[in-house]
Structures are given as structure tokens and as C-alpha cells.
Chain A
Amino acid sequence: MANDPIHQFNIQTLFPIEVGGMDFSFTNSSLFMVLTVAATSAFLIFSTSGRGLVPTRLQSISEMAYEFVAGTLRSSAGTEGMRFFPLVFSLFMFVLVANLFGMFPYFFTITSHIIVTFALAMLVILTVIIYGFMKNGMKFLKLFVPSGVPGALIPLVTLIEVISFLSRPISLSVRLFANMLAGHITLKVFSGFVVSLSAMGAVGIFGSILPLGMTVALTALEFLVAFLQAYVFTVLTCMYLNDAIHPSH
């Protein structure tokens, strides 16, 4: 069972809670959600508690995270987009820390479950739709009718735009989910090779050097992916929010 690469994604109930026949148990996934939130909040609050004019190292990490997200949001959605900063910052920090927590051995990766990433993606898309209609009213629908398109092509282009809009939550959630899932499975498979090969005697131990090297390299790659996917999720969120603020292309 230890070698099963899927085992790490199992949801294990820690405290069973059942309401009206629905299973709302506190699971290992819930535990890591709580840990992610607690660790991130604690870090951001304690590192900035000095409010130093000259930042300490930890304070500059918090400031860098803030300015990184602020820069991303401002460059894609403009100054008006800054009203969504708490949401975008929360999403970035939550996904980033959840991804990075997943890199610890025996830790559960909450973003490796499609329902979590889909819920986060739907949060973004619903924010875009609700804010888009609140701010622009019916003009928000202009998003689907690009200007400067010849009359005959409008139905076709509109259809494509609608499909592309509807596929956004799917692509946004599947990208994050699939990256985390595939990365962790690959890592597990290669490290599994090391274990099973080295059990085969001297030749096996020699042969296990290659998958060991791969595991090391993949670990580095996975740290990159953990950051990159959090960043991609954030950038796309910013671009979708820009659509809500400025619907006409």
C-alpha cells in the first residue's frame, strides 16, 4: 500500500460529523485547510507586528508577497481592480501555501482535489459575473460581442466567446488540480522505484541512483510548479476581474 501513488490523495475522516445524511466530517483535507490558513495568517500577522520602517527579513517576505500580488492585479485590472485586492491576495496566499504544504512528506495536498480548485475557480467566476452585472448592468454582455467584428460573424464569435467564458472555471480549476495531482503522483512513482529497486540487492541499489536523481530534480520542479500554479491562478483571476471592470474588449 505504501507504494500506491494514489494513496496520498485519500481523504481520511478525523472527526465524523453528519448533518441531515450529509457527510461533513473533519478530514485530513480539512485539517490541512485549517493549517494552511492558520500558518499563513500567523506568518503575515506576526512578521508585520513590528510595523518596522526598516523591515525585518520576515516582514520583507510579507511585503514582497503583498507588492507582488498588488503589482500583478494593478497591471492587469488597473487601479480600479485594487478593490478586489483582499480576495486576490487571499487566493494567492491560500493556493501558494497549500501547494507548498503539499511538498512536505506525509502532508496532504488540498489543491490536488478537483472540488477544492473548482470551488475556488467558481468563487472567482461568480465574483466576475456578479460584480460585472452590478457595475455595468446589461453592458456586461458586451464582453461576448467583441467590437470591430463584421456583422455576419457576430453570432459565431459570440458563441465562441460564450463557450470560452464558460470553460474558464473548468480550465482554471483543472490546471491547478492536474498540475498538483500529476506532480505528486510522478514524485511518488519515482521515489517508489528507488525503494523497490534498492530491495533487489547490489545491482538494484546501483540502478536506483537514476530514479533517486529524478526524485531530487522533480522535487525542485514541484516547488517551482507549486509557486507557478499559484501565480497562474492569480494572474488569470486578475484578467477575469479585468473583464468584469472593463467588459468591452
Chain B
Amino acid sequence: MAGQTHSTTEGMHEAIEVPAAEHGAGFPPFDSTTFASQLLWLAITFGVFYWIMKNVAVPRIAGILEDRRDRIAGDISEANRLKEETDAAIAAYEQALAEARNKAHGIAHETRTKLKADHEARREKVEAELNGKLKEAEAQIAATKTDALSQIGDIAGETASALVEQLIGKAPTKTDLTKALKSAMN
């Protein structure tokens, strides 16, 4: 109620003294009668505000920001650790791969050498066998040839003796015949 009266009187006051207001006397910001109240309430409200900021709001926001910074830093270091692990795994894998490749090379080489040796041995064996057979065959051929040749001498002797008998009517002696054959065959 009193407040209303106050504002009404002030309203009237201004209505009467508008020119004075423009000269600064009734200008509200320079009205020193309101200073005490403004200062008191500013001190109370700003004091409370400062207390709330200092003890609640600022620590809370600072905490949030710090948590986030820590979390990000933690995540980055975790990511780095995982990356290192991955790199190590890749290196191990590549080493294993290289080892396996070397081993495979070794096995292939060994197998090839073994096969070659086997092959060579078998070939030599077969060749030896063939050589043996060849020699046998040659011996047989030679025997047959000698045989045939000796038979040729006999046939030639008989033929010659028959021819001579036909020509001269008398069979040559065995000695002459042999002599003659020998000289003819040589």
C-alpha cells in the first residue's frame, strides 16, 4: 500500500517537474535517496551470487571440463596403446609369415634334391641293366655270326667240292679244299 502511495506521489512529482527532470534534479539515476537501498540490495544479491558461483557453479563446470579433458587424454593414450599393440601384432605376423616362407622354401628344395637323386639312381640302374642286356645281345649276335660263318665254310666246301666234281669229275681232297677255302675267304 505504502509502495503504491510512493509511486503515485513520485508520478505526480514527475508530472509537475518534467523540466526539472531534464536538468538532472529528478533524474532517477542521480537521485541519491535511492542509493542506500540500491547499494544494500546489490551487496546482498551480488554477495549471494558470488557465493553460489564460487562454491557451486564454478567448481561444477570446472569439474565437468576437467573430466572431459581427462577422459579425452585417457582415450587418446588408450588409442595409442592399442595402435602399438596392433603394430606389434602386425610385425609378429609378418615375421611368422617370413619364417613360414623360408621353411616352405627349404622343404621344397629338399624335396627337389631328393627327387633328383632318386631319379638319377633309377636312371643309372636302368642304364646299367640296359648295358648288360646290350652286351648279352651283342655276344649272342657274335656267336650266331660265328656259327653262321662256320656253317658258311661247310656249305661253301660242299658246294665247291660238288662244283669241282662236276668240272673235273673227281672230288678234291679235303685238305686242298680247306686250303682253297681259306685263301678264298681271306
- Say which residue of B10, B21, B58, B64 sits within 8 Å of A59 (CB atoms): B64
Q: Are B42 and A13 in contact (CB under 8 A)?
A: no
Within the assembled complex, what's the spacing in Å between the Cα atoms of A26 and B3?
10
Within the assembled complex, what's the spacing in Å between the Cα atoms of A45 and B58?
9
A53 at the interface (CB under 8 A from B): yes
- Interface 9-residue window, one of B29-37, B85-93, B159-167: B29-37
A198 at the interface (CB under 8 A from B): no
- Interface 9-residue window, one of A31-39, A155-163, A219-227: A31-39
Chain A nearest Cβ from B186, distance in angstroms: 124
Q: Are B65 and A25 in contact (CB under 8 A)?
A: no
Binding site secondary structure of chain B: helix
A-side interface residues, number (CB < 8 Å): 57
Within the assembled complex, what's the spacing in Å between the Cα atoms of A113 and B36?
13
In the A-B complex, list the 6 residue pairs whose CB atoms are closest, starting with the nearest.
A30-B41, A86-B54, A33-B45, A9-B28, A44-B57, A37-B49
Tell me which of B6, B18, B49, B54 has the highest count of chain A C-beta atoms within 10 A of its own C-beta.
B49
Question: In the complex, which residues of chain A have a beta carbon less than 8 angstroms from the beta carbon of B2?
Answer: 13, 16
Q: A24-B36, A51-B64 are in contact. Are A45 and B56 (CB under 8 A)?
A: yes
Q: List 15 A-B contacts (CB under 8 A).
A: A11-B31, A11-B38, A27-B34, A27-B37, A30-B37, A30-B41, A37-B46, A41-B49, A45-B60, A48-B60, A48-B64, A112-B29, A115-B29, A120-B46, A181-B29
Q: Are B71 and A115 in contact (CB under 8 A)?
A: no
Q: Are B10 and A66 in contact (CB under 8 A)?
A: no
Chain B nearest Cβ from A240, distance in angstroms: 18
Q: Are B39 and A86 in contact (CB under 8 A)?
A: no
With CB as the reference atom, state the residue of chain A lying closest to B33: A23
> Which residues of A approach B to under 8 Å, CB–CB?
1, 4, 6-7, 9-17, 22-27, 29-30, 33-34, 36-37, 40-41, 44-45, 48, 51-53, 55, 59, 62-63, 66-67, 85-87, 89-90, 93-94, 110, 112-116, 119-120, 123, 177, 181
- Say which residue of B40, B48, B64 sits within 8 Å of A63 (CB atoms): B64
What 6 new A-B contacts, CB under 8 Å, besides A11-B38, A48-B57, A87-B50?
Answer: A4-B18, A34-B41, A37-B52, A85-B58, A119-B43, A177-B29
Q: Are A45 and B3 in contact (CB under 8 A)?
A: no
Binding site secondary structure of chain A: helix
The number of A-B residue pairs with CB atoms under 8 Å apart is 154
CB within 8 Å of A: which of B89-111? none
With CB as the reference atom, state the residue of chain B lying closest to A16: B2
Chain B nearest Cβ from A239, distance in angstroms: 20
Q: Are A115 and B38 in contact (CB under 8 A)?
A: yes
Question: In the complex, which residues of chain B have a beta carbon less than 8 angstroms from the beta carbon of A93?
Answer: 49, 53
With CB as the reference atom, state the residue of chain A lying closest to B49: A37
Within the assembled complex, what's the spacing in Å between the Cα atoms of A15 and B3?
6
Question: In the complex, which residues of chain A have a beta carbon less than 8 angstroms from the beta carbon of B6?
Answer: 12-13, 16
Within the assembled complex, what's the spacing in Å between the Cα atoms of A94 and B54?
13
